[in-house]
Chain A
Amino acid sequence: MCGIVGLHLKNPDLQPRLGELLTQMLEAMTTRGPDSAGIAVYADRDPAPAGHEADPGPDQPGPPGQELRYSLRSDETIDWDLLAKRIAAETGRDLRVEPLGSDSAVFVSSAAETSFLAAVRRAAPQVTVPGFGRSMVVVKDVGAPAAICARYGIPGWGGYQGIGHTRMATESAVTTAHSHPFAPAADLALVHNGSFSNYATVRGRLARQGIRCDTDNDSEVAARLVAARMAEGADLADGLRTVLKEMDGFFTLLVTTRTQFAVIRDSFACKPAVIAETPDYVAMASEYHALAGLPGITGARVFEPMPEEIHVWSR
């Protein structure tokens, strides 16, 4: 049981308002998920260091030397500065800390992705990495969506696109482990409304390819499947086509990369999805009333994606 929202800005003038608009959409989806929420926000961050080679491509992880932002979260109290020093020492790379809240922080490092993540796992196994990337920051927390947005100051965040998810928890332990978005690769985030019926099989297949899931959540499997395809060189649309082909069930997926914003629905199209498009933005939500407060909504083209059609917007 959950609600999903997403906003992809075409007009740069709206960028300072991204956080404010996403907050409003997320709060509207509290009715579908009051227990926890997650949000991924993309912003143009510091430019790459001087002397850096040609960009390997928008959807591929950067080589060592490319700064990545790692969103970190701990359910227990932690000294982020101390952890940062330790990780910097282990990876041999400088590390900047951008505070996010008492439970969360963003570590900016030019270490290679695999070595950074391994260092975090060794140094602080209780810390989770909800997401990482050049442009993307991910926040997940428990509680009402409105409280979460207030706690992180999200209404004040700027950026060019963001997706969010509100959740009603069925497991008793209240952690963020099962929250969306699932962000298994740099700048990739996925939120899902619905229920996959064969995810256990797909998870097993991925495991045999060496790809492990952190949770037993069905949505994480889809995120890892998309990430796996894209790591082989596929683009986002192809990754989503693979989900349509291999995964069974009812689903609306909203998936973003550093430059793309995509929505798909399964062939039954039983999970809702509403898209509103104006010259200034594309917005998506599970229910229209989450979009009703967006600027210019009365003139927007409002439509529902057709089953199995992949709708992609690119920067």
Chain B
Amino acid sequence: MDQPQPMNLPMDAHRRSGAFPPEVIAQIQRTATEGHYEIRGWGAKRDLPTFDDLLFLTASLTRYPLEGYREKCDTSTVLGTRYASKPLQLAIPVTIAGMSFGALSATAKVALGRAASAVGTSTTTGDGGMIAEERAASRLLVYQCLPSRYGFNVDDLRQADAIEIVIGQGAKPGGGGLLLGQKVTDRVAGMRTLPAGVDQRSASRHPDWVGPDDLRIKIEELREATRWEKPVYVKFGATRVVNDVKLAVEAGADVVVVDGMQGGTAATQDFFIEHTGIPTLAAVRLAAEALRDIGMEDTVQLIASGGIRTGADVAKALALGADAVSVGVAPLIALGCNSPTYWQDGSDHDASDGYQALGTEAGYCHHCHTGRCPVGVTTQDAGLEARLDADRGARQVTNYLKAMAMETAALARACGKSDVHNLEPNDLVALTVEAAAMAQVPLAGTEWIPGRQDKI
């Protein structure tokens, strides 16, 4: 047979359509084959304004830095001082966000708990209830109260250190939880009072209260049931942030948690993830402003979440007014999500077959919803879960959280702060007009903040 002649493609053979790039073509093709919307994990993947668009104005002639290591920069953080008799005392301004057992494997929950305990912070249960292993592993555990109430019971409520009433999350504000049948094992199903193997649908509203006026009464109920000891957080996806924050405070929240559109999930419709909610960058600033507007910035704490990755992100969120951040996708990556290998029986193994089977590669995977996580993080399959080593995973997440805290402190020191909570908007400038407008800090090199007439 003759050798095939190489074809000379014209120079514009790979001219990419802005409206129909390969990702969109693939989406449409998939919808045509499968007949329904795409469900996936992770948060918004398209390019959005993020904290990368902000920069710190660190020390200069007129602002003096602190010496690293020798001169202390305090990272301790207290959450829930408003009403609770036992607020949470954290060593660092980073907490682990709510992720359910069901979405995550039990081993993943344990590893996260151990790391949080090692570092001095909290983890959070998710849309499925509390497992004993997580309560044992986590020194500080926040218990979520969600619209579904899967697994929610008063015994676990009493064992928790704080309560988080979830109105919604950044990935899908207004949408309820989702767990596909392949992950609804006997144990998961039992906890959630569901038949094993069903595709779990979740309610989008709470069953026993609807608006902020009723939330006030609900918060009182939860406090009455827990002797007013535990801080009550109210979490919502970032949409109408200012009103939501003010109403949550008025309803009695000790802490408000604002989750921007980059927030992750283990299973949500792609259209929800990409097209609902506002970027975390804008959400943090709006929430902080709302608290200042009602004089509550020193009474009610603000936790920001949604695509927080590094200490730089943490420092910027704190500078914009958050008291702490919450991380979800990032510690999972530290645990092994999207790692090309997994550790089992004392050695590294290649995970590429697992990614290939999902139609992806390490570095691009967002298929948590399948339950076929090649590294054992978001699976209920015993064989796959065995690929996650709890001790090793805990060590990795501990390393990640510690490094994050050190980065945050280093940036704070460079801005002349002896406490990370003294970071302020004045320490920041923006690289783009959008970021300047969303964060309400000046465009670098100018005094211009879009929308503000007065000079800063």
Contacts and interface: CB of A to CB of B under 8 A. Distances in A.
Q: Do A and B touch directly, given a CB cutoff of 8 Å in the complex?
A: yes
Nearest to A32: B213
Contacts of B247: 1, 168, 170
Contact-residue size bin, chain B (C-beta under 8 Å from the other chain)? 10 to 19
B212 A1 contact: yes
B210 A3 contact: no
B211 A250 contact: yes
A193 interface: yes
B250 interface: yes
B216 interface: yes
Q: For the complex of A and B, list the 10 residue pairs with the smallest distance between their C-beta atoms, beginning with the closest.
A: A1-B212, A270-B210, A32-B213, A170-B243, A172-B293, A170-B246, A1-B213, A168-B250, A1-B247, A1-B250
B362 interface: no
Interface string B218-245: 0000000000000000000000001100
B213 A286 contact: yes
Contacts of A34: 250
Nearest to B216: A31
A198 to B, nearest CB: 15
A34 B205 CA distance: 25
Contacts of A194: 211
A250 B210 contact: yes
Interface in A235-250: 250
Give chain B's interface secondary structure class. helix
Interface in B184-225: 205, 210-214, 216
Given A168-B250, A170-B247, A172-B293, A1 B242 contact: no
Interface residues of A, number: 18
Interface of B: 205, 210-214, 216, 242-243, 246-247, 250-251, 293-294
A2 B243 CA distance: 13
A307 to B, nearest CB: 14
A272 interface: yes
Contacts of B212: 1, 168
A305 to B, nearest CB: 16
B440 to A, nearest CB: 15
Contacts of A10: none
Nearest to B240: A170
Contacts of B214: 272
A58 B79 CA distance: 58
Given A170-B242, A170-B243, A172-B293, A271 B251 contact: no
Nearest to B209: A270
A15 interface: no
Given A2-B213, A270-B210, 19 more contacts: A1-B211, A1-B216, A1-B247, A1-B250, A3-B213, A32-B213, A33-B213, A34-B250, A168-B212, A168-B213, A168-B250, A170-B243, A170-B246, A172-B294, A193-B213, A194-B211, A270-B205, A270-B211, A272-B214
Contacts of A195: 211
A163 to B, nearest CB: 17
B424 to A, nearest CB: 20
Contacts of B246: 168, 170
Nearest to B251: A1
Contacts of A3: 213
Given A31-B216, A170-B242, A172-B293, A271 B250 contact: no
Nearest to A193: B213
Contacts of A286: 213
Chain B CB within 10 Å, residue with most, of A32, A193, A272, A286: A32
Nearest to A194: B211
A212 B27 CA distance: 45
A1 B211 CA distance: 7
A3 B214 CA distance: 10
A77 to B, nearest CB: 26
Contacts of A270: 205, 210-211
Interface in A256-278: 270-272
A34 B213 CA distance: 11
A65 to B, nearest CB: 44
A270 B250 CA distance: 20
